[in-house]
Chain A
Amino acid sequence: GAGVSQSPRYKVAKRGQDVALRCDPISGHVSLFWYQQALGQGPEFLTYFQNEAQLDKSGLPSDRFFAERPEGSVSTLKIQRTQQEDSAVYLCASSSGATDTQYFGPGTRLTVL
């Protein structure tokens, strides 16, 4: 079946703009994760959903970052008033359970000018 998909693949935003990044997990996967990967770094955990419940948002860097998964499937990561330090690749991953393998999407590369 299809893997995890993310859109857009690339996003350029002017500083101060709001952006929304979409993640379509593998069908039936209960768990969904968002990570941020800065240039030359490993991914860093942002937030975790189990179905529609956001169980952990401890990695969100500020209150400008907001994630939702209202129907327990597609998820959106929203960044308000973007800043240059938000420039990174945002990765989404899904798994069939909390302890199962996480399958990653190709990521969205966000560039804030």
Chain B
Amino acid sequence: AQSVTQPDIHITVSEGASLELRCNYSYGATPYLFWYVQSPGQGLQLLLKYFSGDTLVQGIKGFEAEFKRSQSSFNLRKPSVHWSDAAEYFCAVGVYSGGGADGLTFGKGTHLIIQP
């Protein structure tokens, strides 16, 4: 079965500084990879996704992520964070069998705190 590890439970970053959130996955084949963001009381919003092709993926709100097969990683980056980026970030892996989707497997999340 697939799994997702987000090693950092909390990360604190100063406003304007760069950000990298780590994500490692375990799956026997090439998975479909996602980053979602969740603000308090809100649903999950997709930031970006990787299905195939270019391993550097651009998303919304200035985020990007790089798929590294050799490291089984899909880290999320942003060159300069804004106070509004404070939220919970979830990495997820999708597996699709012949009969349809198996649903997404999520990591436990990384809570991002922005210092003024």
On A, residues with C-beta under 8 Å from B are 4, 31, 33, 35, 40-48, 50, 55-56, 59, 91, 93, 95, 98-99, 101-107
B100 CB–A CB distance under 8 Å: yes
Whether A42 contacts B51 by the Cβ 8 Å rule is: no
Closest to B44 in A: A104
Q: Is the interface of B mostly helix, strand, loop or mixed?
A: strand
Whether A55 contacts B100 by the Cβ 8 Å rule is: yes
Residue numbers in A under 8 Å from B90 (CB-CB): 42-43
Whether B43 contacts A4 by the Cβ 8 Å rule is: yes
Partner among B32, B51, B94, B106 whose Cβ is within 8 Å of the Cβ of A43: B106
Question: What's the tally of chain B residues with a CB closer than 8 Å to chain A?
Answer: 26
Whether B44 contacts A56 by the Cβ 8 Å rule is: no
The complex places the Cα of A104 from the Cα of B45 at a distance, in Å, of 7
> How many Å from the CB of A50 to the closest CB on chain B?
5
The complex places the Cα of A98 from the Cα of B95 at a distance, in Å, of 10
Partner among B45, B94, B100 whose Cβ is within 8 Å of the Cβ of A56: B100
Known: A42-B90, A56-B99. 13 other contacts (CB 8 A): A4-B43, A33-B104, A41-B109, A43-B90, A47-B103, A56-B101, A56-B103, A91-B43, A93-B44, A102-B104, A104-B44, A104-B45, A105-B43
Whether B108 contacts A42 by the Cβ 8 Å rule is: yes
Whether A45 contacts B102 by the Cβ 8 Å rule is: yes
> How many Å from the CB of B40 to the closest CB on chain A?
11
> How many Å from the CB of A97 to the closest CB on chain B?
9
Closest to A47 in B: B103
